[in-house]
Every structure is written in structure tokens, then in C-alpha cells.
Amino acid sequence: MRIEKHPILEFDRNEKIVFTFNGEKLEGYKGESIQAALHAAGVKVLGRSIELHRPRGFYCAIGNCSSCQMVVNGVPNVKTCVTELEEGMIVETQEGKGVVSW
């Protein structure tokens, strides 16, 4: 689901971007956040709480919470609500706190 018209904002949906989410090819648009593209593709659960594994979804959309943290191109703890989508990006659900590998 995407907003088609807005009284103040203008949407430029001329350039599609292909990215991978958990092994599945999805499409978004240039200028969208990763989270906006995932939400539009029907992805509602972004991860699970560390201790009780309860589902976490799109919450603040301004980078203040940690509900949208995912592994992006191998980097853990990326806040997908404020990270712009790029061609060929690999986005994966993050389990637990995330581990940095060297």
C-alpha cells in the first residue's frame, strides 16, 4: 500500500529500485526508505523482541525507536525507516542484538 496523493508532499515514482529482502526480490522507488518499500510490499513484521520474540513492526518512522533495525548489506542494527533504498541492496531480518563480524 502506498500513498498516491498527498496535499503537501509530491512523490516521484519514475525510477524503480530492485532489492532483496530475506532472499526475495522486491521493488521500491528512488527516494523511499527501506521500510516504506517493505511496508508497501506487505511486510508488516520486521523482527522480534529479543527476550519474548514478540513481533515488531513499523513504529516511529523517524529513527528514534529500534523496531525497524535490520541487517543491510551485512551491517547489523540499520534503522530501515531512515535509510534510503538503493539498487541491489540486501536486507535481512535481524534476530537478537545483531553481531558484527570482521
For residue 43, is pLDDT > 80? yes
pTM: predicted TM-score of the whole model, two decimal places? 0.80
pLDDT at 9: 64
Task: Render 12-24 in DSSP notation, one character per residue.
Answer: --SSEEEEEETTE
Each residue's pLDDT tens digit, 66-83: 788 899 999 988 999 899
Each residue's pLDDT tens digit, 86-101: 999 999 998 766 565 5
